Amino acid sequence: MDRPTLISDKWRAGYAAQRLAEFTARCRRRGLAITPQRVAVMRVLVNSGDHPRAETVFAEVRRQYPNISLATVHRTLETLCEIGEARKVTPLHDSARYDGNTAPHHHVVCVRCRKVCDIDAPEFNRLLHGRRTLGDFELLGCSVEVHALCGECRKAAAANA
Amino acid sequence: MDRPTLISDKWRAGYAAQRLAEFTARCRRRGLAITPQRVAVMRVLVNSGDHPRAETVFAEVRRQYPNISLATVHRTLETLCEIGEARKVTPLHDSARYDGNTAPHHHVVCVRCRKVCDIDAPEFNRLLHGRRTLGDFELLGCSVEVHALCGECRKAAAANA
DNA sequence: TAGCGGATGATAATAATTATCATCCGGTAA
DNA sequence: TTACCGGATGATAATTATTATCATCCGCTA
Ligand SMILES: [Mn+2]
Ligand SMILES: [Mn+2]
Ligand SMILES: [Zn+2]
Ligand SMILES: [Zn+2]
């Protein structure tokens, strides 16, 4: 049973190089133009190990393209997610969602309509196996988000296709 | 090995009643005034199984207190989180965070500074055990968020106390 | 190399959340 | 009970993140 480990910067460097190599081909396959801005945003993102915000990517790309617009960075990041070249760290994001259930539990989230339901899964609560630390981090707990399509959205998707 | 199950509305009804019963006592213990608005927001939240947004709670509470301000609802929900009577469904929320790593992986998040690091934990990828559905949901995948304090924040917290 | 259509930059608009501040009222002690 | 203090509220402005609009630009194909 492998214990959780932090992903190293070394691994990421190699990974970034490979991802960038595939990038133009994947854009072409999707019919997306290969613009310097798009490539720059992709390069900055894939070389970042810290899950940056749009503003942060903007600041970095701006050093090479001083005229790039923040709107372009937002649009590009969104595009990258759509084509599977990136993802958001959390899929829920338009507005905060609150939960009155403070018992330890987890969630299943519909990726289309964002419905969130509670799930009770005792084994999810044992994921850390009593570990107290991970690298520099002092562990406090964990929560699992199961991504799914709810019944309604499944119907909608089927009807649509 | 218990399988994950959806939490029932029945369970929630009983849970809500109990939580509301404790609520005033816990406010008093914290030195927080027991106002009708605060109680109403708490009641609506704890009776909701759908992880509502502030706006949704506002709409509901407004039926009983037509003069309540949306700002009060925001403030109250935040207060409830601070005293442990509620939580946000996702702790990351000021702005979207993007990830260039599309390989299946999970995250450890510092609850104080919101630093996010990748973790490699093969067992986290097997959580669903090949299950395809859960109630009405068609399962697609899952992601684990480990809550923690990073090294720097641990020092800061220690120095502060 | 010309021309089409998507991409970009500039900017306005929208939406969520937070800050400000005068007023109000819950909690406390006389 | 009553008077008072400090936190809580409502109204509103400010801030912040994100998205929409649109004229111009430029990557791509023929
Ligand atoms: Mn929940
Ligand atoms: Mn990541
Ligand atoms: Zn759905
Ligand atoms: Zn930290």
One-letter-per-residue 3-state SS of A70-99: HHHHHHHHHHHHHCCCCEECCCCCCCCCEE
pLDDT band at B156 (very low <50, low <70, confident <90, very high): confident
Q: What is the pLDDT of residue B1?
A: 61
| CB distance B142 to A129 below 8 Å | no
For residue B143, what are the β-bridge partners? A145
Test B100 with A42 for CB contact under 8 angstroms: yes
CB contact under 8 A, B154 and A146: no
State the helix-helix crossing angle for A9-30 and A36-47, rounded to 10 degrees: 150
Q: B55: closest CA among A133, A13, A98, A124?
A: A98
Taking only the tens place, the pLDDT of each residue in B52-94 is 999 999 999 999 999 999 999 999 999 999 999 999 999 888 8
For chain B, what's the residue count?
Answer: 161
- Choices 3.40.50.1100, 1.10.10.10, 3.20.19.10, 1.20.58.390: CATH for B1-161: 1.10.10.10
A62-65 own/partner pairs: CB under 8 Å, 24+ apart: A64/A40, A65/A36, A65/A37, A65/A40
A79 closest-nt by C1' vs CA: C7
C-beta of residue A137 within 8 angstroms of C-beta of residue B116: no
H-helix or E-strand containing A109?
A: strand A106-110
Helix residue spans in B52-143 (DSSP H): 54-64, 70-82
In this structure, the protein residues whose CB atom falls closer than 7 angstroms to any atom of nucleic acid strand D are A 28, 33-36, 53-55, 70-71, 74, 78, 93; B 31-33, 35, 37-38, 65, 67-72, 75-76, 94-96
Q: Is the CB of A38 under 7 A from strand C?
A: yes
In this complex, the residue of A2, A98, A111 whose CB is nearest that of residue B140 is A111
Task: Render pLDDT for A38-97 as a digit per residue (tens, 0 to 9).
Answer: 999 999 999 999 999 999 999 999 999 999 999 999 999 999 999 999 999 998 878 999
Q: What are the structural domain ranges in chain A?
A: 1-161
